[in-house]
Structure formats: C-alpha cells, structure tokens
Chain A
Amino acid sequence: MGDISHPHPMLLDQYKTEDFFDEMFTEDGGIRPHYQKIADCLRSLDPAEHRGKQTAVDLAFMRSGVTFTVYNDDQGTERIFPFDLVPRVIPNNEWEKMERGLIQRITALNLFLHDIYHDQKILKDRIIPPHYILGAKHFRREFMGFNVPKDIYIHICGTDLIRDRQGNYLVLEDNLRCPSGASYMLENRAALKRAFPALYRSARVQQVDGYGAELRKVLQYVSPPSLGSTTQPNVVLLTPGVFNSAYFEHAFLARQMGIPIVEGRDLVVRDARVYMRTTTGLVPVDVIYRRIDDDFLDPTIFRPDSLLGVPGLVHAYRSGNVSLANSIGTGVADDKVVYYFVPKIIKYYLGEEPILQNVDTFLASEADDRAYILENMEKLVVKSANEAGGYGMLMGPWAPKAEVDSFREQVRANPRNFIAQHPISLSRHPTSCEDGLEGRHVDLRPYILYGEKITVTPGGLTRVALRKGSLVVNSSQGGGSKDTWVLQGDS
C-alpha cells in the first residue's frame, strides 16, 4: 500500500500493509467499513494522548494484579500480559459463520470422543487408521466404556483461528484440555471500555461479560446424576497453586462464578467421594473445574510423583460421585495428528462439510508425506503432535540449519509425533509500536462452552506477535493481546 492521505497526519500516517492481509485496511489502502469508527478515533488522537492511555491501562493491570509469572531465576517476576489498545473488529456476518463453524467442530469432536471411548466405529470404518488413536499420547484406555455426565467431554474449548493471505479463517489448533486466556478476554474488554468509552459506545459491540455466568451454568449442568436435580451442586475450581503462571486467571474465574478455588491439598477422597477441608470439617464437592492436566490429577492412577492432584480422585470420578470439566481423555482429540482428520470427523458424524477449514497438513508417519517433509523442511512449519504454547515447533524458513537438521533427525526417529504445514502468513493488525502504529500478526482464540446448549462468547482473545515480523503470538514468547469486538451489525 502506498501513502494514505489523512486529514490529521498522525498515528496512522506511516502505516504500511505490505504484502499481508490487513484486518483494518483493504489492499488499495481503504479502511474496511467495520473499522471506520476506530480509524476516525485514531486519527483524532494525538500520539501522546494515545501513549497516556496505554500507560494508564498498564498501571491499572499492574495494580489489580492482572499478571502472569515468569520464572527466569528463583524469584518469579510478575508481568502484565502486554495489552494493545487498538481493538480487533469482526463484523457480525463474519462472526455468525465462524460461530456456526465452531459449534459444528466441537459437536463433532465431542461425538468423536464418545465414539473412541465406546464402540470405536470411526476406527472400524477405517476413517482414521486405528494406530493413530490407540497409540496417541493422550488416549486414556482406562476410560473405555466410561460414561461421562450428559455425554459431554469438552465443556470448555478455546480454538485457535488464523487468517490466510485471502482473509479466510482457518483452524490452527483445537485446545480441548485446559485452554486458558478467557480472563484476559474479560479484563481487556473492561480496560478498553475505560480507555475509549465514547468510541466503544458508538461502535455497538456485543458483550462478553456473560462468560462467567455461562461457565457456571455449564459446570452445574454436568453435576453427577446421583446428586439429583434439586440439589445445588458444590462446584470448585482446582488450581495447581499460586505459583502457576495462570493463577490470576484461576482466581479471576472463581470470583466471577462465586465458587471456591482449591488446591489439591485442600481436597481429600473418602469412600470414593471428594471432600474439601473446611473450618467446619469435610464438605462434599460435586463438580471440579480442573485447571490441572490429566497426568497430574491423581497420583494413584497417573503420575505417582504428582503433588498437585488428589489421591483417589479418579476413583471418585469413575464411581460417578464427582464430575470433571473437561473430562479425562479429551487430549486425544487435540493431538495434532488427529487434527488432520477433523474434516473427516465432521463429515463422518454430522454428514456435513466443514464450515471452517483446516490448514493443509502433512503427516510425517505417512510415507509420501514424510518424504515431502524431509525434503522440504526449510520451507515448512514442523510441529510436535502434543506440545502447546509454541514449544516443540520448527519454523523452517527462519530456523538456523542446525535446528532444521535436529528436527529432521527427530522426524525420522519418531514420525508419529510430527506434522508439518506450509507457513501461513497470519493476517496483520495495526498495533502500537515505538513509532506509531505498525502491522503485527494476530490470531484469534474464541471460547466455546458446551452445557445444556453450546455457546460461543462473541469475541475472544486476539493474540498479537509484538516483535516485528514474528508469527509467534504466545505470551511466553513475546506475544500480547487485544480486545476483540464482534459488532452487533456488519459495520
């Protein structure tokens, strides 16, 4: 894009879209209609004023402890998750399609989980080669034939979406274990409303505040059937503890729902029932929103060295006396190899075409694909099947040769553990940088809740790679976030 002439040559003055899909600007430099109000606002804003607002927001986050902990020495340092003031905007028509796609996807994945823990029809019908599932790291054979309350496995899902060069939304990964970040979606919104009250009001944005209440309803809905429908269940949030980097989020969500936050040591199992240790004795617990991975839940079943979990918890769960959200064993469905099959999974269970597309993926364990991957490794993004947070990943085009070679060895040694994709140049979004606004790559994580009905909170967490040119949006690796506006209308 060339120069754009502005009535007020300031924040957007030097902005260049370069060769990327830009969320705010069209290819010929025009403002997309749903961004018009924001562009007007940014143009009327003096850069100093903009910086002032940013400082005020950062201070407020620091003061109220909206932070995560970074461990680089023995003392944890608390940092705010960098928040960029320019909001990301999605018109309602785009959102409605995305919402339908997400509901379709979670519905199919939930049916898939039920199937592979029961009849395994999808394996018998040879839609997915059985070894991929039976040998998956997060497949829990102990739970074959086990029925979860209301047949819901994935209560909380945070799906990562990106946009390609043409602006199509693609699913990058499904996070079906303990997706985090919903608290930042809510805190970012609150911060943005404080910083730009007039703009927010005039833009007519759909609300996100309902997330806490909706999550509480989901948790209550899946309470153990033995409790009966008239008894109010005791719901708790199980955290790894105050040293976990997401502890703020755990405390935040517990507050939103008005439920206690507990650590493993606060719980005890007696006669296959879970109790919490209170000042008046042991009080029964019915539903646990756990923010601990399967492996750590119960040292008697999974990792015996886990100090975070509760001995006997799985036994209580199997006995139907306590419900867990998400259910145990959902990790098999967000294995990156299974990701490859999700379009087929949707078609198999729902008889529908996928509304949201996957990124084209090569499976290292298929001979042809493997040969292609090994030959073209410098051009590909290679990912481990079960890592999260941007770890265990090779960005071929940008990686030093030694790293490429190391991945080549790893792929040869353990092909089941790797997939590869062509790099997608994620869409970019105007973002505050040293010298005014510049384009930075973004993704989007909407939050889907599955209870009596499936709801997608209109918005989500837009993560932004703050380093120039970087495609990595993870908070542990230089990522920040933005408020995400889904408009009530299309512009």
Chain B
Amino acid sequence: MSDLFQQKPITTRRDHMVMLSRVANSLYWMSRYIERSENVARLLDVNLQLMLDFADFNDQQLKEHWLPILCSAGDEKTFFKLYDRANSENVTEFLTFREENPNSIISCLFTARENARQVRDQISLEMFEAINECYLFLKSKNAHEVWKFGAHDFFEQIKKYSHLFQGLTDSTFLRTEGYEFINLGKFLERADKTTRILDLKYHILLPSVADVGGAVDAAQWQAILRSASALEAYRRFHVEDIIPNKVAEFLIFSTTFPRSIRYCLQRIDAELHRLSGKERREYRSQEERDFGKLLSDLNFITIEQILDTGLHQFLQGVQKTLDQLDDHIYQEFMYHPPVDTEAEIFLQQQQMQQQQ
C-alpha cells in the first residue's frame, strides 16, 4: 500500500501547456526511431557500395566485414536464428525488412509511426502525414519494388523521409516542452550512432597489419565518414588525405559538424537545461553530472589522449553515459509508479466508506 503514496508532486498548473508523461515518452521515441532508421539506411547504403569494390571477398572476409555492422545496428543472436551466413544480402535484408529485428528500418519506422499515432493530437498534421506516408510506402508492394530495382534508391527514400520529418518538426512544431523531448531523442540517438560508426574501425577495419595504409584501409575510412554523412564536411576541414586520427578527431570533437559527438552532446545539454530550468553547468542528478563531465572532458582532452587509452574504450564510455542519461530522462519525466489496480480499488473503497 505504501507504494501508492509515492506519487509525483501535485501541481496547480491550469494551462494547456502541461505534457502527459506518456506523451513525452512517445515524442522521445518517435524521434529516436526516426533518427535510428536514417542511420541504419546510411550505414547499409555505404557498406553495400563499399562491397562493390571488394567483389572477390570470400565468405570469411564477408563475415568479418558485416558482423561488426550487424553488432552496431542490430542483434547478432536474432540474426543467426534466421540466417546461416552473414553475407551482404542476408545482413541487408535483416537490417531493412525483418520485423523480427526491432532495430530494422521497417521496425524503427513502424514503431515511430505507432508513437506518432499515440500523440497525433500533439504533433502537427504535416508531421503525422510525413511519417504516415513513409509507413504506407513501407507497407506497399512499391517498397519492395523500389528495393529490388536498386537498394541505393530505397535507402535514399528512407533518408528523405527522415529529413522531411525532421525538417517539418523544425518548421511546424511548437517550441514547448515536447520539442525538447523530440530533440533529446534525436541527439541522443545520433550521438550513440556516431560512436558506433566510429567504433566499426576497431572491430573490422584492420584485418591485418599489412593492410594499414593500403587501399582497403583508405576505402574503409572513407566509408566511416560517409556513414556519418561527414565526408564532404571533413574534406572542407582537412584538405588532405584521409588520415585516421583526423577522422576520429573530426567525428568526436567538431563543434560545427551536426553529427559529431561533441555537437550532439552540446545540444543534449541545452535541452536538459531548458527542461530543468537550471543555470548552465548546474545538474540535478548523478546521471546528469556524469553527462556534464563527459561534455567538459571533450573541451579539454585531445584525440592523442583518447588513442593512447584506446578509442574503443572511450567510445564505450560515451555509450554508457548516454544509456544512463536515457534511463534518467525516463525516470525523471516519463515514469510514474504503475497503478496496482487491486490495491487502488481497495484504497478507493476504503476512502468511500469513510465518507458515507
């Protein structure tokens, strides 16, 4: 019974700008899943194209190439329940169309659309139409036809839906609390995906020492940049060959490239402060403080220091901090203790008996 009284505070706000916790949750995940689908589409598109240059890969090499991608974007165990071989066709299908994979493009967009439906009184009609059109496209035969005709065009289409949705969010959604949850979802997902794209190099990209600096190596680093939509941006900053350290530095530290880890963290920080109403650098919980510490680390450490202690360890640390922050956001804004219906009925009946 005592649980029943551990409720959130009662406020007296009587205006329409209050936001249901359930709505905040749906907006956050709607936004996260759309960002996720775009990242998976980009990752697959780039790697399928990369494979065109390595047509002579044997099964083992194919597996070495695709397995880390599978790990970064999906669930390896589920994959091997469904397929024997980790080749291009299987991995791509698994990450695109299989509903058994909760992080496939189709699953992400169906979930995003279901969340949008839950809050369609909150988002603009334009936003709902964009996500709904995407859903209808994926449900139609047309989706498979576009896919068969050319995977590239299909992924282009998926990316465009995400861009359209995010653009419409910017131009039609009210700048209220909901906007902050949408941005939190977007930038948390984006930061996480950038760490995973960068981490791919740790897993696959050095098949043997001899390959370092070779043609395969260069192509793979270029693929990393393209997977993060960063190739052209990188070139504008570094008018030289693609140098591994510089790529990592760019994707971690850039303050101007909107998919770098630091840029995403800065945006998350701003949204967190808008939500809490606290001064900059003031944090409310351990999770927020850990997050704040990571952000300020990025202001002081260098890429050399990161490489010394290990890029992989660093990226894992970032992912862990983001996971904890995600959980914190849920606890702080979205979670209410579940109603134990039986206890609640009992309590209500007792309350009524007292008053009759």
Contacts and interface: CB of A to CB of B under 8 A. Distances in A.
Interface string B78-112: 00000000000000000000000000000000000
A262 B16 CA distance: 13
B348 A277 contact: no
Contact of B128 (A64, A279, A283): A64
B106 to A, nearest CB: 14
Nearest to A236: B20
Given A254-B121, A262-B20, A284-B12, A270 B348 contact: no
A315 B341 contact: no
Q: Which interface residue of A259, A265, A281, A282 has the most chain B CB atoms within 10 A?
A: A281
Interface in B1-41: 7-16, 18-24
Given A281-B10, A315-B352, A63 B22 contact: no
B136 A279 contact: no
A381 B321 CA distance: 68
A277 B20 contact: yes
B210 to A, nearest CB: 53
A277 B118 contact: no
A86 interface: no
Interface centre among B22, B125, B355 (most CB of A within 10 A): B22
B63 interface: no
Contacts of B351: 271-272, 312, 315
Interface string A243-287: 000010001001100111111011011111001111111111000
A232 interface: yes
A281 B8 contact: yes
A228 to B, nearest CB: 11
B179 to A, nearest CB: 13
Contact of A282 (B7, B24, B128, B334): B7
B132 interface: yes
Contacts of A304: 345
B339 A268 contact: yes
A299 B341 contact: yes
B344 A312 contact: yes
B349 to A, nearest CB: 6
B274 to A, nearest CB: 12
Contacts of A491: none
Given A277-B8, A277-B21, A312-B344, A258 B352 contact: no
How many interface residues does chain A have, given as a range? 35 or more
A260 B16 contact: yes
A268 B7 contact: yes
A226 interface: no
Contacts, number: 114
A234 interface: yes
Contacts of A280: 11, 13, 18-19
A212 interface: no
A278 B20 contact: yes
Contact of A312 (B23, B118, B348): B348
Given A260-B121, A268-B339, A278 B19 contact: yes
A300 B334 contact: no
Contact of B345 (A64, A251, A300): A300
Contacts of B334: 279
Contacts of B16: 258-260
Given A65-B132, A304-B345, A281 B11 contact: yes
B333 A279 contact: yes
Contacts of B19: 278-280
A260 B14 CA distance: 12
Interface in B124-145: 125, 128-129, 132-133, 136
Given A62-B136, A282-B10, A315 B21 contact: no
A244 to B, nearest CB: 12
Nearest to B23: A260
B284 interface: no
Contacts of A300: 344-345, 348-349, 352
B56 to A, nearest CB: 43
B339 A65 contact: no
B117 interface: yes
Interface string A36-49: 00000000000000
Contact of B117 (A62, A65, A234, A284): A65
Nearest to A248: B120
B336 interface: yes
A460 interface: no
Contacts of A479: none
Contact of A283 (B11, B121, B339, B352): B11
A311 interface: yes
A233 B15 CA distance: 9
A63 B136 contact: yes
Contacts of B128: 64-65
Given A65-B117, A277-B20, A279-B20, 10 more contacts: A277-B22, A279-B19, A279-B21, A279-B334, A281-B10, A282-B8, A283-B13, A311-B345, A312-B351, A315-B352
Interface of B: 7-16, 18-24, 114, 117-118, 120-121, 125, 128-129, 132-133, 136, 177, 333-334, 336, 339, 341, 344-345, 348-349, 351-352, 355
16 contacts: A233-B14, A247-B117, A255-B120, A270-B7, A270-B10, A272-B351, A277-B22, A277-B336, A279-B21, A280-B18, A284-B12, A311-B341, A312-B344, A312-B348, A312-B351, A315-B352
A-B pairs, top 4 by smallest CB distance, nearest first, are: A312-B348, A254-B121, A281-B9, A281-B8
